[in-house]
């Protein structure tokens, strides 16, 4: 792995492209969000990111690694508007796909790509949508007491 900061050009290019496409008040989750924010501010993309109020966030899995001041400004738990999103979906997805490695050890490049494509297609069509209903229902049920405590005017027609 390259020890210099030349690899940061890719996330910087992604931020520049996203700011160009989506504009103001965009946030991006990154494992090293605090360090990346410093790099972003010192780069040529920095003025654009500041003018568009870009926020660098840290996923919930990395919460115990960072200083308190970084946690308060960058951790998903404390950022208003993210809800219960932990910004770890990609890591979870790629962690699950690691099970393919052993089965594909001696196969050709074509069969690697075919198996990975089939895996994610299967995951998209069958696994995700099947589990999505349970996920949404359980999160709704879990957070409903907080909504009723925080809002006296919660409409009963949204209750299950």
Q: Print pLDDT tens along the chain (160 aa).
A: 455 556 677 888 999 999 999 988 888 887 777 778 888 889 999 999 999 988 888 877 666 655 666 666 677 777 777 776 777 777 778 888 888 888 888 999 999 999 999 998 888 777 777 677 888 888 888 777 766 665 555 555 554 4
Task: Report the distance separating Cα 36 and Cα 24, nearest Å.
Answer: 19
What is the domain partition of the chain in residue ranges? Answer: 1-87, 88-160
At residue 99, the pLDDT reads 87
Q: Measure the CA–CA gap between 138 and 140, rounded to whole angstroms.
A: 5
Residue 117: predicted pLDDT:
93
């Amino acid at each position: 792995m390259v020890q210099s900061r030349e690899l940061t050009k890719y996330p910087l290019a992604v931020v520049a492209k996203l700011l160009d496409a989506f504009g103001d008040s965009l946030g991006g989750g990154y494992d090293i969000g605090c360090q990346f924010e410093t790099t972003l501010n010192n780069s040529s993309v920095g003025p654009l990111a500041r003018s568009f109020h870009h926020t660098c966030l840290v996923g919930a899995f990395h919460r115990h690694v960072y200083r308190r001041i970084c946690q308060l400004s960058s951790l998903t738990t404390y950022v208003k508007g993210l809800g219960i999103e932990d910004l770890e979906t990609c890591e979870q997805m790629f962690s699950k796909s690691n099970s393919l490695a052993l089965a594909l050890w001696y196969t050709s490049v074509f069969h690697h790509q075919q198996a990975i494509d089939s895996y994610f297609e299967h995951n998209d069509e069958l696994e995700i949508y099947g589990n999505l209903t349970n996920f949404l229902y359980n999160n709704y049920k879990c957070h409903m007491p907080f909504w009723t405590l925080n809002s006296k005017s919660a409409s009963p027609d949204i209750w299950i």
